Amino acid sequence: MCLAFFLILAWAALTQDVFMYLWLVIWCICMAKRRMEATRAFKNGDQRYSYDDGTPINLGKDIRMAIAWYEPICTVILGAILYWFYQQNGWSVRGLPCFLFLGAITMRVVESLKTKVSERRMMSINDAKLQQDWMVKEHGDRFGN
């Protein structure tokens, strides 16, 4: 979270886009809200996965679809609107519009990596179960239990 904060701050400083600072404030508010939700869930005894990204936008029943596709598409749409708005006003589009476009790309990449990691974890769990079954069988054959 600190890295993301400093990356947004650096992008704002390098592009000298005033609206990036507004985006940083909004981002900080959202992160504080998410932290309070996690703290509240912990105090209520709810179990939460430590890498939980929070609740995605509600555009359907499938949370994975929302995280993998709906959120990046909404981010691209917002970036396109801001791109047009910045061009109409003669401002440099290297600030918030480009930041949002790159953010949408990274959201897709991160989600695909998380999916791959999850698949590998499931394979490891399955491999461990198979190995355990083999070891139980081997022990039974060796010691007659």
Do 88 and 136 fall within a single domain?
A: yes
Do 69 and 123 fall within a single domain?
A: yes
More confident residue, 33 or 144: 33
Do 78 and 17 fall within a single domain?
A: no
Domain that holds residue 128: 58-145
- pTM here? 0.73
More confident residue, 77 or 49: 77
Do 74 and 50 fall within a single domain?
A: no
Mean pLDDT over 99-120 rounds to: 92
Do 88 and 127 fall within a single domain?
A: yes
Fill in the amino acid letter for 73: I
> Kindly report the CA angle at 59 between 58 and 61, in degrees rounded to 5?
85
Question: How sure is the predictor about 116, in pLDDT bands with cuts at 50, 70 and 90?
Answer: very high
Q: How far apart, in Å, do the first and last CA atoms of the chain sit?
A: 53
Q: What is the domain count for the chain?
A: 2
The secondary element (H helix, E strand) that includes residue 31 is: helix 18-43
